[in-house]
A and B are shown apart, each in its own frame.
Chain A
């Protein structure tokens, strides 16, 4: 057997995924002096931003309204100027954990690569929940697509997936696609959201639905799909507060396409293969304030950790992961992790652990479990004390919030996050 069939490569840091998180992570690792390799399974860098041709990206990071490709291009240019080796069309088949390193078994058109790295940064993004994961029933015709797939059809391939379209779920991509497809001449019959509140950002409800007079039906969902070859219609049904279908409220709606925007799931198959513990609330790895997972040497960032609303924060987490990974490979200091939990007022938060010997400036990201329309305080509960980190006039699960605070950490003292409704004045 030819010994040279497999190319062997050594690096300090391997970044998996070249979407906004991976690009930011690779940049910051490189800027901090590490040797880094970027691996991307698609044919171009940029991740999902490539197909997000609408604007609104970069408001936090650049104070500008960029389109997705524009936002990505800025990072891609930097990556190129930094001479970070980027492997595109390259697929990681398997990752093996060695005592002091990780070995990635990768393939692309040119051959097979065995890449050994001291640290891994997982920037693998997320995938869309499918019709099967929300237990959509009825027949199985063509014409049922997730919003991201529909977006690919329209923005990358240049094709209309349908002309008379029902959208199920009010996630951001679905809202964006409602507007996009309207602009291309399709008719959006309506957006049907099973919950009593929309799950996308307020700004998207206003700019994508209201501005185009697209009806949003809350507490209403698609019950059954009809059509043999191509979808012909759906039965929608109203649901009560507990999410149960209200008998007799069924209505048949004619359509030739059904688009789903019913949530995103962090992609963590590689993390799981390396025994990285996953938070059931975020569906991403548990991380500390340095985006370090519970396995030494494996970092995670972006939507593989939790699903973000804004790309700016995705990039931010990549930057943290990149610099932390460099710090870690340089000193390999044993971490001292304390648990940072939340009570049931919080849907989820990041980080779920705090390395108390590390920097004490903690960037906290969280979503509330329900909508708080009265003023409320977000509290940090330590052993016997309760500190109000910040007050909010309104909190919604659909909008992620960020608080940066200095933690006065002590060993063996767990932290807890809590949202408290204040009925008094702000």
Chain B
């Protein structure tokens, strides 16, 4: 009779023609609602009765085309291939799992439907490696976050990417907040967070001299760190490739062939392949992949966030992550955002949190910028004139608002890694470890699995000139003059660094892919000066025409036609 109670409740929320089915595996709700807000409210309510919520409530608002951003060419290049493991999704989770699996004597492939890895949520976040305090105690989020936080430092070293423990400061907005310290400390302790401190007003002032005066000390979490989320994802993918993993870009899974409760073949736009195990790390499309496998026992809902990035010359005014949350609202679903130093030396402000109906909507609007002003005012030196860019990302969330990391109960050789919202980036290395444990359990029944003897724990990288001093730069230029030719003046990127990226183990020949890897165009002039030069290099390296070079793959050409061709039309 529980379902009847739930149904009544949903009806009172405004869900019409409501139905509720509660099984061991999930709770499935359906009906018609007038708004997305009602639909989501119903979903969150249902999550009180089962972790896995399938929300089939229809809203008036028509769902937009759910297809991905790019049209995939149909081919049969991959037809007939066979892999032990196919990972669906080249986000930070898929790439971290791939890298972890590359330690074993098995064949692994990552299928990514876009033109590059880290195109969606993995490149559209604030880069924070959270301390683990914010997650609700007892959740998977809390567990994986703290473990992941510890793993990132050595992992970043092996990957040759920067990681910095900047620490995170939760500012008190009233003197009364100070009495919350034992409660905050207790939560940090419950979550196994690596350290916490009570900072006085004076201590805050000393550590962060440019923060607003109207603060009353704060709660400090030294373990919080920052990385470049897209560089990290690319590095994980490259390292996996260097250790034998195949990354197939522009490859979209369109179906599965099942036999006896197992996936036997995976259908893609580039052919049908055999797989012993499939890992669903499809991010904002993870529920669709589950559905393709006839295993949809969870729904995703989508929460968009906008971040603002400030000019690098603001970086010196902020040392730690800082936020001033309203403690009355801390139980709510958003973390509330704050000021975050970026690994490149900017200040990032954000994110916002807005539920949206679409899986992908990266448009920005002025209301979100306005909302972020509450954080901007925390630092006296910041103002909107210093903004160099802003962007949106979309978090894929389950209605229980926790990660879903488990073997499918229905399909013997399928693992779901879904609902990896914040702190997903921080948790990724820990999630990857556990997914690999699950994978080995499944595979070991079919195959004897050994560790590779020749697994290289360190990613092969090209020189990072940012780390070099003047003399070292002089020496590297003597060896290769291309390192002395600066293409991007704002971020000091040399021509050879761009060419290096195009000869890496995962080269992608678009402007945005190069920007994510090496940063030309990511500075204050936003590519105003370097874009033609980067296009020239891309054209040279690929043997293509200037007008064939795109911003982000299919149909996003930078220029349309040569003047000559246009004149002769």
Interface residues, chain A, with chain B CB atoms under 8 Å away:
1-2, 5-6, 41, 89, 91, 93-94, 105, 107-112, 114, 127-128, 130-133, 135, 137-143, 145-146, 148-149, 152-154, 156-163, 184-185, 224, 228-230, 256-257, 269, 272
Contact = CB atoms under 8 A, between A and B. Distances in A.
28 contacts: A5-B475, A5-B478, A93-B470, A105-B470, A107-B486, A110-B477, A111-B477, A112-B473, A112-B474, A112-B477, A132-B387, A132-B388, A137-B363, A138-B364, A140-B362, A142-B550, A149-B531, A158-B562, A158-B563, A158-B564, A159-B563, A160-B559, A160-B561, A184-B566, A224-B363, A229-B550, A230-B557, A272-B313
Given A109-B481, A111-B474, A149-B528, A230 B555 contact: yes
Given A5-B475, A6-B470, A154 B563 contact: yes
Contacts of B559: 153, 157, 159-161
A185 B566 contact: yes
A273 B313 CA distance: 9
Contacts of A160: 559-563, 566
A149 B457 CA distance: 43
Interface string B455-480: 00000000000000011011101100
B268 to A, nearest CB: 21
A149 B389 CA distance: 18
B556 interface: yes
Instruction: Classify chain B: how many residues form its interface, as a range.
Output: 35 or more
Given A5-B471, A135-B369, A230 B528 contact: no
Contact of B475 (A2, A93, A127): A2
Nearest to A153: B559
A136 to B, nearest CB: 9
B277 to A, nearest CB: 34
Contacts of A112: 470-471, 473-474, 477, 484
A133 B386 CA distance: 8
A139 B474 contact: no
B485 A108 contact: yes
Contacts of B195: none
Main secondary structure of the interface of B (DSSP, over half): mixed
B532 interface: yes
Contacts of B482: 109
Given A110-B484, A133-B385, A137-B365, 8 more contacts: A109-B482, A111-B478, A112-B484, A132-B390, A132-B526, A133-B387, A157-B535, A229-B550
A108 B484 contact: yes
Contacts of B387: 132-133, 135
A93 B473 CA distance: 11
B295 to A, nearest CB: 30
B562 A5 contact: no
Contacts of A93: 470, 473, 492
Contacts of B524: 127
B58 interface: no
Interface in B516-569: 524-529, 531-532, 535-536, 546-547, 550-564, 566-567
B477 A107 contact: yes
Interface string B358-374: 00001111100100000
Contacts of A133: 385, 387-388
A22 to B, nearest CB: 15
A114 B471 CA distance: 10
A91 B489 contact: yes
Contacts of A159: 546-547, 559-563
Contacts of B486: 41, 91, 107
